[in-house]
Structure 1
Amino acid sequence: MEIKRRNFQGVVNILSFNRHFYVVGFIALALIIGSKFLFNWHPVLFWVIISAFMYGLIMPLFVSAYVYDFSGFYNFDWLKKMKIEDAKGKFNLNINAGFDETSYIIKSILPQSNLQVYDFYNAKQHTEPAIIRARKVSLVYPNTQQINSNSIPLKDSSVDTIFLISAIHEIRRYDEKVQFLKECRRVCKPNGNVIMVEHLRDFPNFLAFTIGFTHFFSKETWKKAFEEAEFTSIKEKKFTPFMSIFNCN
């Protein structure tokens, strides 16, 4: 199945999945503007607050357009450069948190390898409104299976590559993250890899998403979690200043 992304699909997704944030933001902005007729705002303070609100609402859309619509991220050239072996005996996993935009793309790049897709979304644990909305429009790859984040239903040392693309930051608890990564380590072959793509809780993403950057986790947190899960090699490469690609084994 060929996946053709629409123009500005990344921005449209951000607006659609996070519309509660934008509704609240614009209501707050309207109230601040309206309050100018009731209170004697200092002009500098008024425009500083207005500018801060506008920045917080608009900048994430500019950055999302850059990362998801114009950077070539969904062309997956970054994955092709990794030169992952594609053969009939290879077995790969793509694990998501209820929103899958990547499985068909991965399959098109590695057509001979077997690809199994797992979804660890749990309505009781993963309560973000954005995930709930995203699930309603997500493509479902054939034979996608629902799993618990603490148990991957495969034998030890059976997987060549596990893809975690903008997914496991939805596991909010650190201990749950470590347990999930331990399961990834268990099912990976000794020379197998976990390829994880994530925004980080760092300065570029603070500039991009302001307080929204707290939805992500720092490089140090991920490194510690992978080390506790007994990964011995953790390599990070930047894809734009706002996204990191981790290759771990």
Structure 2
Amino acid sequence: MEIRRKPFQGVWNIIRFNWHFYAIVLLVFSLVFLFKGFLSVNYQIILQIGAFIMLAITAISLLVSYYIYDVSDLYQLKWIKISGNKKIININAGFDETSELIKQINPKIDLTVCDFYEEKKHTEVSIKRARKVYPPFSNTTSVQTNYLPFADETFDLTVAILSAHEIRNEEERILFFKELNRITKSSGEIIITEHLRDFNNFMAYTIGFFHFHSRKTWLKTFRESNLIVNKEIKTTPFITTFILRKDGSTA
């Protein structure tokens, strides 16, 4: 089944949720050319080069984001294969673009949606703006990262798409993944989709790639949570999906 999104939905969300950043870029670019006549020729050249580099970096990041979120098949969620009335939990960090898409894949699944966003802890203005534009999915449950209010081995599939990186503290992140381990059936899977702090994402987002975790960090988190990587998928050169199983379980 092909999942449809609005044209330019991904890149437009990035711009409107982070408009302050792009406003600063345009302001700096405008000021450089407005006041360059008051500077010496050498300073004019330096500032103009700097302004064009800044504008180029911004344009490249938006083009890459357009490719990832609007052109690639990321939101086809092809790695989610679940049939019948199986139980699936989708966990987000305050901005949920995927629960409705998961239901489109198979309307018969028993879907639980959780949100670990805490206003005092997660202070990014972009998430606050996103929450105003995109209301939570129906019956979304607010949870804590250190405790998910479900019995052991409740879910056949546990999913966290572009959300788990928001848990910045390593100890908190490991506790969260131990909870994912606990609530997932021994025969089930845990799917984690993320940008990585790697060369490709550095070339796309420069210092913005520090917002992501490295592959080494993720593998350590999985290992400390008694999870093993069953499969690793590169949806694009910038997005990695880890399909995890409980350590010692059989496929």
State the AA in 1 paired with 2:74: F
Distance in 1 between the 2:18 and 2:3 partners?
A: 23
Matches within 5 A, 1:55-94: 55-76=56-77, 78-79=78-79, 84-88=81-85, 90-94=86-90
Q: Which residue of the partner structure matches residue 23 of structure 1?
A: 23
Q: How far does the alpha carbon of each residue in 1:181-225 deviate from its partner, in whole angstroms, 9 at most, with x for none?
A: 110011111122111111111111111111111111111111111
Q: Which residue of the partner structure matches residue 190 of structure 1?
A: 186
Structure 2: gaps spanning 5 or more residues: 246-251
Matched-pair contact (CA < 8 Å) for 2:73–2:235: no
TM-score (norm 2): 0.90
Matched-pair contact (CA < 8 Å) for 2:28–2:51: no
Distance in 1 between the 2:116 and 2:91 partners?
A: 7
State the AA in 1 paired with 2:147: S
Q: Which residue of the partner structure matches residue 129 of structure 1?
A: 125
TM-score (norm 1): 0.91
Structure 1: gaps spanning 5 or more residues: none
Task: Tell whether 2:144 aligns with 1:148.
Answer: yes
Matched-pair contact (CA < 8 Å) for 2:3–2:76: no
Q: 1:235 aligns with which of 202, 206, 231?
A: 231
Distance in 2 between the 1:139 and 1:66 partners?
A: 25
Q: 2:211 aligns with which of 204, 209, 215?
A: 215
Distance in 1 between the 2:231 and 2:169 partners?
A: 23
Q: Which residue of the partner structure matches residue 200 of structure 2?
A: 204
Q: CA deviation at 1:27?
A: 1.9
Distance in 1 between the 2:3 and 2:235 partners?
A: 21
Matched-pair contact (CA < 8 Å) for 1:101–1:139: no
Task: Tell whether 2:58 aligns with 1:53.
Answer: no
Matched-pair contact (CA < 8 Å) for 1:86–1:111: no
Q: Which residue of the partner structure matches residue 13 of structure 2?
A: 13
Q: CA deviation at 1:5?
A: 2.2
Matched-pair contact (CA < 8 Å) for 1:93–1:159: yes
Matched-pair contact (CA < 8 Å) for 1:201–1:219: yes
